[in-house]
Amino acid sequence: MKTLKPLDAAWLYVDTVDTPMQVACMAIFSLPEDAPGDFIQGLFEHLRSVPRFARPFNLKLASPKLKAVMPAWVEAEHIDLDYHLRHSALPRPGGERELGVLISRLHSHPMDFNRPLWEAHVIEGLEGGRFALYMKMHHSLVDGVGGMRMLQRMLTPDPHARSQPPPWAVGCGAGREREPQSIDAQLRKFMQAARNQLGSAPAVARALGRVVRSAVQRRDPQEALPFSAPHSVLNAKVSAQRRFATQHYDLDRVRAVARAADVTLNDVFLGLCAGALRRYLLEIGALPRKSLTAGVPVSVRPADDENAGNAISFIIANLNTTVEDPLQRLALIHQSTRIAKDQLQALPKAGIDSYTMIFMAPFILQLLAGLGGRARPMFNVTISNVPGPREPLYFNGARMEQIYPVSLLSHGQALNITSVSYAGQFNIGITGCRDTLPSMQRLAVYMGEALEELERALGSTGTAHTTTAKPAARKRGKRAA
């Protein structure tokens, strides 16, 4: 029996019917040129023929009913592979919309806590003979991008490789273990403190605000502080059902905009999110008068740490959703992220850890203190940009065309936008609360149009990319439930 580390355990603690702590990735594959008519069936049978389970695919909770109190893993003696591995199909025409509906549905289904906490779905019936893989795991087993890493580990750049083993036979590798221990230790103390404050929610928020304010001195109006975000529909209490939508561009288009505007790729991504959010919220009459802010994971190297390499921390970016002009908005976002990163970079390692810990804990805090959906949010929306594989990858000869993260939500955080770059593409997965965000697929469409808008403003229209991508982007944006 292996007791969970506090950070892992936290995901079980806050797992509820309305906030299942499951993360996933969805990848679309095209068939090899010489594929027989039953290629997908054969692939499924190949996956099904490997009942070997590496960690963490062989772990289940020792006491599912005590998951929040005494979480511990045991190795499952018998694993019913036919339960975990599932073969599905899209109704015709098998387009982006049908796929979005199915992924939304699969990501809304709770997991069975009496079994190892993962599912793998092979989905056939996509237009053009393509198929999709959807891999779901509980966040207590893998971190946010763990699903992504897991899928990548089973892939190869060799288009001729065959008989590649399924992810559960390969395992997740070092994933979780690489997380800084100090965060865990601090989180334990933090959770204890938060528990002690139960029933005194505003006091917790104030105290936390002070901690962050003292760590990060305010110097610039573009500096976005925690708990200074406006109230918005994105910060309601969430319910159990999810919507999922996708968008993807050529990475070169995003790079060209970044170069022309003299900002980072991540700034352009934030700019696209800001433009789409502004338009969506204006349309539903819910754009706050104050600009929305985003919690953004970033990679930093602590000022006093020469050998530890990069650490993952978070910044809060001002999305400048009150600004109408897209170029001005992008410039201000860039200013906001530069200030936040500079400040973070100047902190010693202990400071970064303490600061990071607070960003990893907000959902825990909000649930523990009953703040979710009521108090002023720490930030309005989580926006992550995950670097992915640069070269095309294959699974048993099938080329991975796109890969998308499917994220989790918590009370007070009804929307998550995560991008992953892959083989010259920029793929975006948008996960939202079904009841809080009606017509959320419009966000995906608007993100496509926001890129065109920036290109036009920068005078970079007329390139081959834009002219061919425009109708595709509109169509792709409809992949949603």
d(CA 458, CA 461) in angstroms, rounded, equals: 8
The nearer residue to its own copies, 80 or 127, going by C-beta atoms, is: 80
The nearer residue to its own copies, 112 or 342, going by C-beta atoms, is: 112
Which pair of tokens denotes residue 289?
Answer: 């008068």
Give, in degrees to the nearest 5, the angle at Cα 410 between 322 and 18. 130
Specify the amino acid at residue 451.
Answer: L
Q: Does 286 bind its own copies (CB under 8 A)?
A: no
Helices (H), 14-85: 39-48, 81-84
CB of 449 to its own copies, least distance (A): 24
Q: What does each C-alpha distance from 470 to 183, 449, 463 come to in angstroms?
A: 44, 8, 11
Q: Does 92 bind its own copies (CB under 8 A)?
A: yes
Residues 250 and 426: beta-carbon distance below 8 Å: yes
CB of 125 to its own copies, least distance (A): 6
Q: Does 341 bind its own copies (CB under 8 A)?
A: no
Q: Which stretch binds its own copies (CB under 8 A): 40-48, 224-232, 322-330, 409-417?
A: 40-48
Q: Which stretch binds its own copies (CB under 8 A): 86-94, 152-160, 380-388, 441-449?
A: 86-94
Q: Does 112 bind its own copies (CB under 8 A)?
A: yes
3-state secondary structure (DSSP) of residue 161:
coil
Q: Does 455 bind its own copies (CB under 8 A)?
A: no
CB of 109 to its own copies, least distance (A): 6
Which pair of tokens denotes residue 228?
Answer: 């200074």
Q: Does 63 bind its own copies (CB under 8 A)?
A: no
Binding mask 241-270 for its own copies (x = CB under 8 A): x-----------------------------
CB of 453 to its own copies, least distance (A): 30
Q: Does 435 bind its own copies (CB under 8 A)?
A: yes
d(CA 105, CA 10) in angstroms, rounded, equals: 25
Q: Does 62 bind its own copies (CB under 8 A)?
A: no
Residue of 30, 58, 88, 460 interacting with its own copies (CB under 8 A): 88
d(CA 315, CA 385) in angstroms, rounded, equals: 13
Residues 50 and 169: beta-carbon distance below 8 Å: yes
Residues 14 and 367: beta-carbon distance below 8 Å: yes
CA neighbor of 129 nearest in space, from 85, 87, 89, 86: 89
Residue of 86, 176, 237, 349 interacting with its own copies (CB under 8 A): 86
3-state secondary structure (DSSP) of residue 30:
strand
Q: Which stretch binds its own copies (CB under 8 A): 39-47, 134-142, 364-372, 469-477?
A: 39-47
Which residues are within 8 A (CB) of 481 and not within 5 positions of it... i.e. 6 or more apart?
100, 101, 103, 104, 105, 242, 243, 244, 245, 434, 441
CA neighbor of 356 nearest in space, from 454, 347, 154: 347
Site residues for its own copies, 125-144, by CB under 8 A, read 125
Tell me the site size for its own copies, rule CB under 8 A.
Answer: 31
34 burial (CB, 10 Å; 0-12 / 13-18 / 19+) is exposed
Q: Which residues are catalytic?
A: 139
Q: Which stretch binds its own copies (CB under 8 A): 103-111, 195-203, 213-221, 222-230?
A: 103-111
Residue of 16, 239, 460, 463 interacting with its own copies (CB under 8 A): 239
Residue of 2, 46, 87, 213 interacting with its own copies (CB under 8 A): 87
The nearer residue to its own copies, 80 or 324, going by C-beta atoms, is: 80
The nearer residue to its own copies, 56 or 100, going by C-beta atoms, is: 100
Q: Which stretch binds its own copies (CB under 8 A): 229-237, 239-247, 290-298, 412-420?
A: 239-247
Q: Is the previous residue joined to 405 through a cis bond, with omega within 30 degrees of 0? A: no
CB of 54 to its own copies, least distance (A): 23
Q: Does 89 bind its own copies (CB under 8 A)?
A: yes
416 φ/ψ angles, rounded to the nearest 5 degrees? -140, 130
User: Using CB under 8 A as the criterion, which residues of the chain lie in contact with its own copies when the complex forms?
Assistant: 38, 40-41, 44, 80, 82-83, 86-92, 98, 101-102, 105, 109-110, 112, 114, 122, 124-125, 239-241, 434-435, 481
